[in-house]
């Protein structure tokens, strides 16, 4: 285990050091909370860590940009990597251990297994990023087996991911409690995201239209308006504001993510749209 000059937060990079630390926690009878991330941390991530602190005695945070959830044309290489700043932020919110596995550690040259997920993984992001949720499920399964947390906290920002993780944890009987946290937003409503760093100043201003349009659809649905019309208006308005393409704006069953109908009790509105070279996703309860 090593501490850097910049931050006193212990960082571990290999599995045996992680296992030593975790078994130390376990010997003391401590309850372990876990927050998996890809780094470039912001207040959304820190809210998850703060919440994990309230649910456990020690909080382990992982930073791993997972190549298996990026398609070859996606932004794996340019994804922001800010380890020292991340460590400082994590220390400031009381995280106990930062786990930074390498790609080689996670996926050695001989690696022949993966977790395949269906159900809530099948459409929406699953349509536009076909390898994505198997990549997420595989890395989350590995991280859970490595860290062996009692509780793991995920953000509703990635609502479909949260439902996918809850589903495979339940289906495969993993002994971890998966907890979701509401999305942390900027003052103008834009959901915090590491990818917002890609936006030009103009795009950053336009980006806030996404939540404005989602709120308008939610309001129309709540007041009994025509759902198809509201969804189409949102897509048209996003295109007119400078988004494009709009991958989807859809109303779904909040638990299963199946297509919603008039009888669906709990609705979730989910969207993904491109702004220049950046793909933004967001979602809200209806």
Residues contributing to the site for ligand AMP (CB under 6 A): 37-38, 44-45, 47-48, 154-155, 157-158, 181, 183-184, 191-194
Of residues 146 and 183, the one with the C-beta less far from ligand AMP: 183
Beta strand residue intervals within the chain, DSSP E: 11-12, 32-37, 58-63, 97-99, 151-155, 177-181, 246-253, 267-275, 278-285
- CB-CB contact of 59 with 52 (8 Å): yes
User: Closer to ligand AMP at the Cβ: 37 or 163?
Assistant: 37
Q: Is the dihedral of CA 132, 196, 80, 200 positive or negative?
A: positive
User: For residues 22 and 162, which CB has a smaller minimum distance to ligand AMP in the complex?
Assistant: 162
Catalytic: 45? Answer: yes
The nearer residue to ligand AMP, 10 or 135, going by C-beta atoms, is 135
CB of 24 to ligand AMP, least distance (A): 25
| Shortest reach from residue 157's CB to ligand AMP, in Å | 4
C-alpha to C-alpha distance for 241 and 207, rounded to whole angstroms? 9
Residues 137, 165: contact at Cβ < 8 Å?
yes
Task: Give CA–CA dist 239/237, Å, rounded.
Answer: 5
What is the crossing angle of helices 43-55 and 83-92, to 10°? 40
CA 266, distance to chain mean position in Å, is: 21
**Choice among 42, 45, 73, 116 that is catalytic:** 45
Catalytic site residues? 45
């Amino acid at each position: 285990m090593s501490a850097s000059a910049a931050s006193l937060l212990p960082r571990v990079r290999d599995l045996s050091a992680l296992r030593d630390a975790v078994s130390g926690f376990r010997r003391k009878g401590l309850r372990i909370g876990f927050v998996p991330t890809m780094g470039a941390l912001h207040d959304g991530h820190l809210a998850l860590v703060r919440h994990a602190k309230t649910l456990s005695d020690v909080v382990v945070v992982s930073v791993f940009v997972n190549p298996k959830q990026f398609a070859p044309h996606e932004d794996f290489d340019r994804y922001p990597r800010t380890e020292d700043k991340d460590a400082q932020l994590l220390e400031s919110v009381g995280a106990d251990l930062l786990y930074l596995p390498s790609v080689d550690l996670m996926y050695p040259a001989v690696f022949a297994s993966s977790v395949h997920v269906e159900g809530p993984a099948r459409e929406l992001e699953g349509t536009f990023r076909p390898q994505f949720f198997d990549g997420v499920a595989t890395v989350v399964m590995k991280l859970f087996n490595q860290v062996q947390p009692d509780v793991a906290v995920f953000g509703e920002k990635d609502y479909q991911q949260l439902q996918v993780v809850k589903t495979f944890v339940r289906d495969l009987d993993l002994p971890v409690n998966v907890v979701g946290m509401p999305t942390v937003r900027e003052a103008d409503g834009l959901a915090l995201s590491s990818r917002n760093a890609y936006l030009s100043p103009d795009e950053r201003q336009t980006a806030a239209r996404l939540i404005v349009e989602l709120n308008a659809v939610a309001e129309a649905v709540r007041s009994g308006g025509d759902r198809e019309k509201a969804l189409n208006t949102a897509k048209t308005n996003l295109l007119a504001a400078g988004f494009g393409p709009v991958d989807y704006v859809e109303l779904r069953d909040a638990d299963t993510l199946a297509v919603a109908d008039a009888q669906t009790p709990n609705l979730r509105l989910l969207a993904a749209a491109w702004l220049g070279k950046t793909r933004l996703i967001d979602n809200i309860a209806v």
